[in-house]
Amino acid sequence: MECIEEVRCFDGYQRRYRHHSQVLGCDMTFSIFLPPEHDQTPKPVLWWLSGLTCTDQNFVQKAGAQRRAAELGLVIVCPDTSPRGVDVPGEDESYDLGTGAGFYLNATQAPWASHYRMYDYVTRELPELVRQQFNVNDREAISGHSMGGHGALVCALREPGRYASVSAFSPVANPVNCPWGEKAFQAYLGDDRQAWAEYDTCELIKRDDARQPLLVEQGEADQFLESQLNIDQLERVCQEQNHPLTLNRREGYDHSYFFIATYINVHLDYHAQHLNA
């Protein structure tokens, strides 16, 4: 593992690392914020999953999370959003499939299956590496935005009891019924819609396997609200299943990192409360 960037930040460090991923079969980068070390007490980890076209750097540079994370003693780990440069045919032809669009699932269809296994990467390989290399404890929370919000909710629902808390900004909440999700799932998972359901928040809630409370932040002026996100469907399914959901609808806010930066401290405080409970 190679540190390729380090900056001092609120008495902690914002770092970026490169390592070889056995799961994805390529070199990957991730970013990590390490809060001040007042003592040697291991710190809890918040995983942040970013959206379509993003890298591990978008959250780091735009969300403004480091000040509050330093105060709360939170380690924040930001994985990249897909493998890169693995020469899969079609990986760079569109913004919503391939590079920057891994959708946090394990692909089963050629030519994607040999590299596009982001679910195993963010839930297995990278957490193991972080535990080996950094002074962290076993307490984890997870959050994300858009495609990454989808990933955060799915990871928490598929791994009952693992994450102390989960939240999402503008998540793709029902990808089996939106253009982004249908395109990606068809390519990565094939025609079997039962396989699609394994990576769909609404479908997982219907199964009632996990009672993980969800915190969702949604801007009412989001340009993708009606066409891609299916937030109304998420709210409906949670009501039908009596699944715990806190849905904050924010008037005038869009899909951008300006929205995330406005409310990120609300989510950091929420996660810190659960991580330290």
Phi, psi of 122 (to 5 degrees): -85, -20
Catalytic entry in 50, 56, 222, 271: 222
170 as an active site residue: the answer is no
Look up residue 251 and give its amino acid: E
Written as six digits, the tokens of 207 are 């199964």
Active-site residue identified among 145, 243, 255, 271: 255
User: Contact 148/207 with Cβ under 8 angstroms?
Assistant: no
The residue annotated as part of the active site, out of 21, 146, 165, 167, is: 146
Q: Catalytic: 39?
A: no
Q: Which residue shows structure tokens 């806010």? A: 253
Alpha-carbon torsion (143, 205, 117, 124), positive or negative: positive
- Residue 53 φ then ψ, to 5°: 75, -5
Give CA–CA dist 38/164, Å, rounded: 24
Sign of CA dihedral 69, 201, 233, 176: positive
CA–CA separation, 121 vs 124, rounded Å?
A: 6
Is residue 80 flagged as an active site residue? Answer: no
Residue 107, Cβ neighbours under 10 Å: how many? 23
Active site residues: 146, 222, 255
